[in-house]
Amino acid sequence: MSILVVGSVAFDTLKTAYGEREKILGGSATYFSLAASYFTKVRVVAVVGEDFTGEHENVMKARGIDTTGIERAAGKTFHWGGEYGENLNEAKTNFTDLNVFQNFSPRIPQQYADTNFLFLANIDPALQLQVRRQMPNVKMVGGDTMNLWINISREQLTETLKEVDILLINDGEAKLLAGDSSLPRAARKVLQMGPRALVIKHGEYGATIFFRDGAHPFRAPALPIDEVQDPTGAGDSFAGGFMGYIASQDKLDRSVLTKAMFYGGVMGSFAVERFGTERLQKLTTEEIGNRFELFRSLTHLE
């Protein structure tokens, strides 16, 4: 099966306790597609500028990712600058140069039309809906969002959420979206907005999936990582592992969803071990399998 992701392909300039990097490859669609590429065929819709080189694109191509949908526009690629202090779950943004992203109007290439799964990474909910409407026949739609859109585009976001099957957000976003400081209550309120399932990501504490039909929630742990060199992209990599695993399966039941939660955590944990997408570029099936088993043993009750 195949999955299409729409989101940002960007450059990041970062500072963490482990060092600094300038203009390295980043963006929600990049992290997502690299993580998902270990499970299924991935197609990307995004926009980049003239400073996006063949070398950058080859990072994705080397993982078999279909980059036909990456549009080249005049100008510079979206560039984010930020740093992390003691609290690795919260980035301090130094600058956000939207550049070519400012006029992004996602178009789905003809050859992407038969895609089975869709992931709407964290971009303007109006653009998310625009893509969703161009892909009416997908089997399942996953989505992400952030505080910015909850604060400035709540109405638009509410429309988009009606057409998302599984929403993946973090604790703070869930509470803000629901206007409720109790996580399980917030989860129920968000599920009333449309999604059939809600994955709340807890950073180093793992993630919990809640279901609209009242099925019992499920929590997957995050591996305690010794050295989190760069937390950027952890959530997108979680989404890539989660959606990628789902897209690789024939059915979508609780057993698949719970394993997908583990694979999400696995890919998120790899992403943060090195700066940028470095670790996600060259994983082996064995490394992924071993970490899955490590996660399983972390919560396995004898």
Report CA torsion sign: 106, 102, 121, 166: negative
Cβ proximity to a copy of itself: between 17 and 148 the closer is: 17
For the bound state, the minimum distance from the C-beta of residue 148 to a copy of itself, rounded and expressed in Å, comes to 21
Cβ proximity to a copy of itself: between 185 and 196 the closer is: 185
| Residue in 107, 189, 202, 274 binding a copy of itself, rule: CB under 8 A | 202
CA distance 93 to 14: 10
| Residue in 71, 183, 189, 274 binding a copy of itself, rule: CB under 8 A | 183
Q: Is 290 helix (H, G, I), strand (E, B) or coil?
A: helix
For the bound state, the minimum distance from the C-beta of residue 288 to a copy of itself, rounded and expressed in Å, comes to 16
- Within 13 Å, how many C-alpha atoms sit on residue 41's CB side? 7
Q: Which residue has the tokens 């006029």?
A: 103
Our finding on whether 258 is near a copy of itself (CB under 8 A) is yes
Cβ proximity to a copy of itself: between 187 and 267 the closer is: 187
Q: Which residue(s) pair with 25 in the sheet?
A: 11
Our finding on whether 286 is near a copy of itself (CB under 8 A) is no
x/- map, 51-70, a copy of itself, by CB under 8 A: --------------------
Residue 27 · residue 280 · CB < 8 Å: no
Q: Burial level of 298, CB count in 10 A (0-12/13-18/19+)?
A: middle
CA distance 198 to 131: 20
Q: Which residue(s) pair with 21 in the sheet?
A: 14
Q: Burial level of 116, CB count in 10 A (0-12/13-18/19+)?
A: middle
For the bound state, the minimum distance from the C-beta of residue 219 to a copy of itself, rounded and expressed in Å, comes to 5
Q: Give the CA angle between residues 197, 247, 229 to the nearest 5°.
A: 80
For the bound state, the minimum distance from the C-beta of residue 297 to a copy of itself, rounded and expressed in Å, comes to 5
Stretch that binds a copy of itself, among 4-12, 155-163, 177-185, 265-273 (CB under 8 A): 177-185
Our finding on whether 194 is near a copy of itself (CB under 8 A) is no
Residue 280 · residue 270 · CB < 8 Å: yes
Where in 214-233 is the site for a copy of itself (CB under 8 A)?
216-221, 224-228
Our finding on whether 114 is near a copy of itself (CB under 8 A) is no
| Residue in 49, 106, 142, 206 binding a copy of itself, rule: CB under 8 A | 206
Residue 57 phi/psi, 5° resolution? -65, -35
For the bound state, the minimum distance from the C-beta of residue 223 to a copy of itself, rounded and expressed in Å, comes to 9
Q: Which residue has the tokens 């071993």?
A: 290
End-to-end CA, the chain:
35
Cβ proximity to a copy of itself: between 216 and 282 the closer is: 216
For the bound state, the minimum distance from the C-beta of residue 133 to a copy of itself, rounded and expressed in Å, comes to 34
Alpha carbon separation from 75 to 78, 86, 149 (Å, rounded): 10, 35, 25
Q: How many residues does the chain have?
A: 302
Number of residues that bind a copy of itself (CB under 8 A): 37
| Residue in 262, 263, 270, 275 binding a copy of itself, rule: CB under 8 A | 262
Our finding on whether 24 is near a copy of itself (CB under 8 A) is no
Our finding on whether 86 is near a copy of itself (CB under 8 A) is yes
Q: Which residues bind a copy of itself (CB under 8 A)?
A: 17, 86, 181-185, 187, 202, 204-206, 208, 216-221, 224-228, 254-255, 258-259, 262, 294, 296-302
